């Protein structure tokens, strides 16, 4: 239904390939906490496929879907699984080599921003910044995961400063979710009076919502991920 809604005429065949890929990924790729091959991930890829379809209507539909599946999923796949993922994509979409859609103006601006921050504009680093932007375009909640020293903070800083270069007046507020209790982070209901008391997160989110405008607004929860605080964000992270 979503493929048809996104103007795909060969929706039935493409849907079978889509589901087959995700089922095989779930079975063959390693078990990572951040992998999601369920409905939430499917919806996001379909949104990407729809935007690619509208931006390039002359491209064959199977190539559009293949590009969306490849470019949206590669950022979250660990290096050990990339070879298997590329093999699955090649098997389902044989003899198809669709180049990645690139925004060269954005890439050049990111390189300029990285150099101004005294960073080396390596291709792999620039690609990660671009991938983060592509994810933010279709999701309002994004995880940046990795071991210490892998460049997570710098990827965020470069993209944020790129927004500044574009005169978009971005807003950034970060906090450590493990520094306070869950009640202090998200808020709670006082049992005696049944009154709501705001937490840090709800205060920041309300303040940003009241700012207005379409400038990027980031709440960065900078800390270890564990079920104690991340479970409370599940409904916020959904596309509902």
115: closest CA among 57, 162, 45, 52?
162
Spatial separation of the C-alpha atoms in residues 166 and 134, rounded to whole Å: 16
Quote the pTM value: 0.77
First-residue to last-residue Cα distance in the chain = 18
pLDDT at 114: 93
pLDDT at 144: 87
pLDDT at 238: 66
* Residues comprising the chain, all counted: 240
Neighbouring residues of 201: CB distance < 8 A, sequence distance ≥ 6? 175, 185, 186, 187, 219, 221
Adjacent-strand bridge partners of 188 = 197
How many CB atoms sit inside 10 A of residue 176's CB? 13
**∠134-136-139 over CA atoms, to 5°?**
115
Contact 159, 132 (CB under 8 A): yes
Contact 162, 108 (CB under 8 A): no
| 171 φ/ψ angles, rounded to the nearest 5 degrees | -125, 135
Q: Compute, in degrees rounded to 10, the torsion defined by CA atoms 123, 89, 86, 150.
A: 50
Residues of the chain predicted below pLDDT 50 = none
Spatial separation of the C-alpha atoms in residues 223 and 226, rounded to whole Å: 9
Contact 98, 66 (CB under 8 A): yes
Q: 168-213 pLDDT, tens per residue?
A: 889 999 998 888 888 888 888 988 888 999 889 989 989 998 988 8
pLDDT at 239: 60
Neighbouring residues of 115: CB distance < 8 A, sequence distance ≥ 6? 121
Contact 170, 160 (CB under 8 A): yes
137: closest CA among 45, 201, 69, 229?
45
18: closest CA among 53, 51, 64, 59?
64
Q: 1-23 pLDDT, tens per residue?
A: 677 766 677 778 888 888 888 88
> How much is the CA Rg of the chain, to the nearest whole Å?
20
pLDDT at 240: 54
């Amino acid at each position: 239904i979503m493929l048809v809604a996104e103007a795909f005429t060969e929706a039935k065949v493409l849907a079978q390939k889509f589901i087959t890929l995700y089922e095989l990924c779930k079975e063959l790729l390693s078990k990572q906490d951040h992998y999601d091959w369920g409905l939430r991930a499917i919806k996001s890829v379909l949104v990407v496929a729809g935007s690619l379809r509208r931006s390039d209507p002359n491209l064959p539909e199977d190539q559009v879907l293949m590009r969306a599946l490849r470019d949206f999923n590669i950022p979250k796949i660990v290096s050990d699984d990339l070879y298997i993922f590329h093999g699955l994509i090649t098997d389902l979409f044989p003899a198809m080599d669709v180049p990645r859609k690139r925004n060269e103006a954005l890439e050049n601006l990111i390189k300029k921003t990285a150099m101004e921050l005294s960073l080396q504009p390596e291709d792999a680093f620039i690609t990660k910044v671009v991938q983060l932007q592509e994810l933010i375009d279709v999701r309002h909640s994004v995880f940046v995961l990795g071991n210490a020293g892998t460049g997570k903070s710098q990827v965020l800083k470069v993209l944020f400063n790129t927004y500044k270069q574009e005169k978009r007046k971005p807003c950034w507020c970060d906090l450590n979710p493990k520094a306070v209790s869950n009640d202090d982070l998200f808020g709670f209901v006082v049992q005696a009076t049944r009154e709501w008391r705001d937490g840090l997160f709800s205060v920041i989110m309300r303040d940003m919502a009241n700012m207005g405008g379409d400038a990027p607004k980031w709440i960065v929860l900078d800390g270890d991920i564990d079920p104690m605080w991340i479970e409370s964000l599940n409904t916020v992270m959904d596309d509902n």
